[in-house]
Structure 1
Amino acid sequence: MSQITTITFFRYTTFFNKLWAFVMMQFAHSPLKKVNGLQEYKLMGSGKDGFDPFADWSVYALLQIWENEDAANNFFSTSILIERIIKRTKERYTLFLKNTKSRGFWSGENPFIESDTISQNNPFIAVITRATIKTWSLYKFWKYVPTSQSPLAGNSGLIYTKGIGEVPFLQMATFSIWKDEESLKQFVYRSKEHARAIVKTKELDWYSEELFSRFQPYKSIGNWKGIDELPF
């Protein structure tokens, strides 16, 4: 399939630019809905480092699902919206992704289509996990998050991770990049804390909706501390 996904991070530094970015969470919808070749998109804020649920007002994310790479390239090279955003940002980084596996739902659907052009010579893996947390379980969920994520600290297989989401506390997602599949498996299946979180998710029924998706990152635009070592 020719479908690709892009995720773009924007970093703002001044108070007025951060305020402008917050306002654009509403006003960017209109131009994005008119973009040719754009199948789906999500405008998202981010949480503070360490999977803190409180907002990081300096970083925003734009997830986009495209009919093909040509449509994405045209948007990033000609879009007036992107041009306006870049003028106000300190850093901007766009990562191009091909889906390798996806299960679950996001806003009632699974928008990702598995790619048939995956390179066997590219070991890197990007992961998006997304969930809508049931209101009654918010306290228990966020109380356990620091424990479940503690194995990430100093993890040599993890290149980058950031908490993102549409609605603070309620609709959360994580984006992460790993050196290879073995590094990801070490965290997901061999970390006692994360394994316990999986069990708790089933036992306590925390989510009303959840999605887990893997990608192969293969191209990038811009700069972002922590991801720049990717050889694209």
Structure 2
Amino acid sequence: MSMMVAARMMLPRVEGIGFWKLCGSGAGEGFDIVPNPRVFAILATWPDAETARHQTKTAGIFARYVAHASESWSVFLNTTSVRGQWAGIAPFTASDTPQTAPLAVLTRATIKTRNILRFWGRVPNISAVISDDPKVMFKIGIGEAPLLNQITFSVWPDAHSMAEFARRDGPHARAIRSVRDENWFKEELYARFTIVGDRGTWGGSSPLTQTERPA
């Protein structure tokens, strides 16, 4: 926790870093209202992949995180599409690079206060559905602030698998319709990325080494 506080002073001093956010996570696989004090995430943008790899390996704050962690995983991404805003700005710029597999998807939303109970009432069912999908390679729910600012990050073997999950009738599809019909969010962002590499492990191995989880 003290390192998360210190990072707010140290990250702006890291050469080359652009937009950045410090995030906590929920219990279980992250999609939970109960916080997990052991899992944290740093999201950052960089001018190029070489800078990203170098600074996340050698910059003091990142080296300290790795030294104090029992396990760490970094995934390097290239934005292929994005819409919406994050804290009033557009943090990612889509490149002309074609989408390749595997791909990552990030959604971020600021929930309107009056809709908090309805949003969190849907999360357990959505979490159960995505957890049961053998095609999702990795997923986690993180956030900048408890209850209000929520982020989902998932990795899929291909665009078809991701789209099939998103469009399938069920808790997720019904929640999306409610978001649109009832205007749940104050702000939202949706981005897709091509994965250009990773470093480290999650649960003992790289999530990118598996194309499908066992049922």
> Which one has a larger percent strand, Structure 1 or Structure 2?
1
Contact 2:101 2:195 in 1 (8 A): no
Identity %: 36
- Paired AA for residue 171 in structure 2: E
Q: 1:212 aligns with which of 178, 182, 190?
A: 190
Q: Please list, as runs of the form range in 1=range in 2, the aligned pairs for 1:43-192 lying within 5 A after superposition.
A: 43-50=22-29, 51-118=31-98, 122-192=100-170
Deviation, structure 1 residue 39: 1.1
Q: Please, what is the CA RMSD of the aligned residues? A: 1.8
- How many residues of Structure 1 are paired with residues of Structure 2 in the alignment? 209
Deviation, structure 1 residue 77: 3.1
Aligned mates of 2:204, 2:110 — CA distance in 1? 27
Contact 1:46 1:60 in 2 (8 A): yes
Query: 1:31 maps to which residue?
Result: 10
TM-score by length of 1: 0.84
Aligned mates of 2:151, 2:81 — CA distance in 1? 17
Unpaired runs of 5+ residues, structure 2, are 211-215
Moved more, 216-225 or 57-66: 216-225
- Paired AA for residue 186 in structure 1: E
- Paired AA for residue 37 in structure 2: W
Contact 1:93 1:224 in 2 (8 A): yes
- Paired AA for residue 48 in structure 1: A
Deviations 1:34-62 (A, max 9, x none): 11211110010001125112101110000
Contact 2:105 2:153 in 1 (8 A): yes
